Amino acid sequence: GRDYLRELYFQIAEELGLSFFPAVPAGINTSIQERDGAAFRFVLTLTNETQEVRIMVPRQSMLTGYMVEETLVMEPFAVEVLALQ
């Protein structure tokens, strides 16, 4: 249903290089890296302040194994890697 279509649209957007973050705060840098058929979103905090980044599609953190549901809390100068597939 509706959740399937939402997931499909965001997956297509990611494959086209579009962000699945509705708005990335100043001081946050994101990029997509692909290797051996797997894709990952790297998120970096470039400031000394904690940042909150809203995401549209739940993703698994490759660093902790936990699912990030709606908000990714980034500590100062932190790095996160989210699986896209």
Q: What is the pLDDT of residue 14?
A: 67
Give tens-digit pLDDT for 3-57: 677 777 767 776 776 655 667 888 999 888 888 988 899 999 999 999 998 887 8
Six-digit token string for 56: 């549209």
CA distances from 83 to 1, 21, 45, 58, 64 (A): 23, 14, 18, 10, 11
pTM for this predicted structure? 0.74
